[in-house]
Chains A and B, each alone.
Chain A
Amino acid sequence: EPEVTQTPSHQVTQMGQEVILRCVPISNHLYFYWYRQILGQKVEFLVSFYNNEISEKSEIFDDQFSVERPDGSNFTLKIRSTKLEDSAMYFCASSGQGHSNQPQHFGDGTRLSIL
């Protein structure tokens, strides 16, 4: 069964450094999402992306964050200058359609640790 893959599984970075988290969505999906879960908290929406544009973003997704689909397969989340509070599990997801009745397929996540 096709799946969403994320790399790396764990990223350790010094505060202030840039980090890029990578995702390969399911190949025929058109809608892409990033979520994060800070330890002990709920999973939170960051951003949705369709047709090379951000469709929706949360308050968390400030100027430090950006997303890109650099080629036909990858979908990346960049954090420009990481802060301690960016430490979290980051999940990528994709769906075939953008309607609310469409399940999202999640990757295994990237654990980001900021030192």
Chain B
Amino acid sequence: ILNVEQSPQSLHVQEGDSTNFTCSFPSSNFYALHWYRWETAKSPEALFVMTLNGDEKKKGRISATLNTKEGYSYLYIKGSQPEDSATYLCALGNAGNMLTFGGGTRLMVKP
């Protein structure tokens, strides 16, 4: 059973703060690491799919890095806005694209 862990479980920040959180996963037999943004009562929205060690991806104010050798990925949000409030999920993909999810980091941005 793969163990994908995310920390912290929840995070409260002020509008304008930059923040980051962690996803850790087993480093052996790595295929892909997915990040999703999940707002309450909506569907999880794909942010990034990362496959190469050292990968960095960016989408607006959100970026992610990947270290497959040590088994972690960071998600960064620059200048958090209230609309960034959501649960951020990471998931490890296997060869057949079966996803194993972490528990998520719930981000709350106060205006």
Chain A positions near chain B (C-beta within 8 angstroms) = 3-4, 31, 33, 35, 42-45, 48, 55-56, 58, 91, 95, 98-109
CB-CB under 8 A from A109, the residues of chain B are 43
B106 within 8 A of A: no
Given the known interface contacts A91-B43, A108-B41, the answer about A44 and B101 at a Cβ–Cβ threshold of 8 Å is yes
A27 CB to closest chain B CB, in angstroms? 17
Within 8 A of A (CB), among B57-99: 89, 91, 93-99
B89 CB to closest chain A CB, in angstroms?
A: 7
A41 to chain B, nearest CB (A): 8
Specify which chain B residues have a CB less than 8 angstroms from the CB of A100 in the assembled complex: 31-32, 51, 93-97
Given contacts A98-B96, A98-B97, contact A103 B46 (CB under 8 A): yes
How many Å from the CB of B44 to the closest CB on chain A? 5
Report the Cα distance A55→B96, complex, angstroms: 8
CA–CA, A17 and B45, complex, Å: 32
Interface Cβ pair total, 8 Å cutoff: 66
Specify which of A56, A103, A107 is in contact with B43 (CB 8 Å cutoff): A107
Inter-subunit contact B44/A48 (CB<8 Å): no
Among A33, A43, A44, A48, max chain B CB count under 10 A is at A43
Chain B interface residue bracket vs A: 20 to 34
Q: Tell me the residues in window 1-41 of chain B with beta carbons closer than 8 Å to chain A beta carbons.
A: 31-32, 34, 36, 41
B100 & A101 in contact (Cβ 8 Å cutoff): no
Can you spell out 14 A-B residue pairs with CB atoms less than 8 angstroms apart?
A3-B43, A33-B98, A42-B101, A43-B101, A45-B99, A91-B44, A98-B96, A99-B97, A100-B51, A102-B49, A104-B46, A105-B43, A106-B44, A108-B42
Bound Cα distance from A106 to B34, whole angstroms = 13
The CA of A56 and the CA of B101, in the complex, are separated in Å by: 16
Of all chain A residues, which has the CB nearest B4?
A42
